[in-house]
Structure 1
């Protein structure tokens, strides 16, 4: 008896997830805990590590777990801050120059709001670059979905 092999097509799930998202790439010279502390204090938000969910990837025979932070505020859903580097491996290898990725998913993320966030990020000590990443530039979108 031949086994039937089913393959899950995730492209539609990925496309739907990224319909109303904005993604910022951030380069900073400070450690992740210091950057997050500055981010929370200067922008008056509350990013916290989410210990309940990790993004697990298999790289070079090793399993790597990437933690991420989300805003712990019930009115500010769908703001996630990913550390792009863990144990010498990158969450999104196509963006090796970026330290953090800030994903905002909500139809209320207007151009004005995004520009305000970028301006505030540039005022945080140690931040060298803030850039918006278009969905077309992201090769491994599925790594940002948990």
Structure 2
């Protein structure tokens, strides 16, 4: 009897995860819970910490935990996720060390006008220094965002 080995194709899994997504990078001088609370109050979202999709990475023999906040748009397939990009000196996306938060929109493609309006609203939040859309081609470690 022969044993068959199955291999998970991580690149294919990552590509599927990033279908119909947009990603924003945000630099802000605030804690993640405070940032989400401000978004909820100023923009009208309802972000909640989702410990089930917290990102766990192991580097240099240490464990790193990156919290993820989630908001599902009612009557839509669109979900928003905010990742904290830094934990104890490590980065979820090391190529974007200057970004404190990563905002992923997934499930239903957000229109350019809606995304631009959201970016402008985020920029008005006190403590936000930078908001930029990140393209998939520039993300080297996008597999780190997959939950």
After TM superposition, the score normalised by the length of structure 2 is 0.90
Q: Please identify runs of 4+ aligned residues in structure 1 that moved more than 3 A.
A: 3-7, 72-77
CA distance in 2, matches of 1:93, 1:7: 27
CA distance in 2, matches of 1:44, 1:81: 15
Q: 3-state SS of the aligned residue for 2:52?
A: coil
Q: Residues 53 and 17 of structure 1: is their aligned pair in 2 closer, same or farther, counting only changes over 3 Å?
A: closer
After TM superposition, the score normalised by the length of structure 1 is 0.90
Q: How many residues align?
A: 146
CA distance in 2, matches of 1:132, 1:84: 15
Matches of residues 80-99 of structure 1 in structure 2 within 5 Å?
80-99=81-100
Q: Could you say which residue in structure 2 is the equivalent of 1:31?
A: 31
Q: Residues 66 and 25 of structure 1: is their aligned pair in 2 closer, same or farther, counting only changes over 3 Å?
A: same
Work out whether 1:60 is the aligned partner of 2:60: yes
CA distance in 2, matches of 1:96, 1:131: 13
Where does the alignment leave 5 or more consecutive residues of structure 2 unmatched?
Answer: none
Where does the alignment leave 5 or more consecutive residues of structure 1 unmatched?
Answer: none
